[in-house]
Amino acid sequence: MAYIGKQPVVGNFQVCDAISVVNGQAAYTMQVGSANVEPENANHMLVSLNGVLQKPGSSFTISGATITFASNLATGDVIDFIILLGDVLNIGTPSDNGVVTASIAANAVTGAKLNTDVISAQTALAAEPADTDEFLISDAGTLKRIDYSYIKGGGSYNLLSTTTITSNTSNVDITSNIDSTYKNYLITLTNIHPSTDASLRMRVFHGGSIVDGSNTYLYAHTRYRSDGNSNNDAGGGNYNPLSIDNVGGGAANECFNGEIILFNPSGTTFHKAIQLAATNMDELTATNHVTASATVVSTNAIDGVRFYLSTGSIASGVIKLYGIS
């Protein structure tokens, strides 16, 4: 608010510094902490002279920081105290801890009174919240708290490694990060481009060694082709858990894309299950959709996988490993 003249001092009661009486003097300067102070008016002051409260206007007047008594003071007179009340119609800024919950009306604090950094200025949580951590929500207009366990998502994919192939590679091995940290793992194959027409194959590692013996893998897969020449295939006693025929490579724009799930690879109770869903262009003649399942006939933990082709090399592509939480 703008003011004509001096802006009022509000609600900050002050006791003036002690004033020494000068014989035969009526006017004195008021100070607080050795700095001049100017009351709102004489009615906003308590003045005691010789133990008697003085009446504003008749016993004293003020002008700026000067108080003038109705008559000259004499030796032996004592100005006991001068208290400035400020603007008595406004309490000003309350003192620390001066406002309690009962002093605030219900619904009195609105969003307009919250700083824009009310959230961003707080310490960031550096990890996923605990199930018992609490959040505020509005339930049909009523604020309620809710535990994180009720609102957290059902799972997420956590990227563990990325393998980028830029030149002909015979074997692409992923031998890190497949362990007991996650129950299941996802492998994505993006723009896998063979150097020549070939079948994409995969094997697994046990204890750091490739598993390539006979009677180790069982598989079944279904291929749907856009030209109608779909087929199913299954087998046992094979050297490869997954073998996807004719994944392309005869032309520069052919590639293979797919996702593979390893179910509980670190377990040692059951045989291991592997699942694939993929798509590719088959020798520029048809688009293929392939689904496949495989079993590793062993209870040994899987700690790695290898991708390779039936002939030639993998010329380019990206393979990513995710932990599923």
Mean pLDDT, residues 33-46 taken together: 90
Domains of the chain: 14-84 (no CATH), 157-324 (2.60.120)
Q: Within a 13 Å sphere around the CA of 237, how many CA atoms are in the beta-carbon half?
A: 0
Amino acid at 57: G
Instruction: List pLDDT tens digits, range 159-191.
Output: 999 999 999 999 999 999 999 999 999 999 999
d(CA 73, CA 68): 10
pLDDT in tens, 87-98: 655 555 666 777
| 321 has a pLDDT exceeding 70 | yes
**CB proximity list for 126: less than 8 A, separation 6 or greater:** none
Rounded CA separation 299/310 (Å): 27
Please check whether residue 32 is in contact with residue 16, taking contact to mean a CB–CB distance below 8 angstroms: yes
Q: Is the pTM of this model over 0.85?
A: no
Q: What is the pLDDT of residue 249?
A: 60
Q: Is the pLDDT of residue 198 over 80?
A: yes
Give the pLDDT confidence of 140-151 residue by residue, as tens digits: 888 899 998 888
> From residue 24, how far is each of 27, 30, 64, 130, 203 by CA, in Å?
10, 18, 21, 78, 111
What is the average pLDDT score of the chain?
86
- Residue 237: pLDDT band by 50, 70, 90 thresholds? low
> How sure is the predictor about 257, in pLDDT bands with cuts at 50, 70 and 90?
very high
Model pLDDT, residue 250: 60
- Residue 271 CA to residue 203 CA, distance in Å, equals 15
Please state, for a pLDDT cut of 70, what percent of the chain lies above it.
87
Would residue 313 be called left, alpha or beta, if left means φ above 0 and alpha means ψ between -120 and 50 degrees?
beta
Give percent above pLDDT 90 in the chain.
49
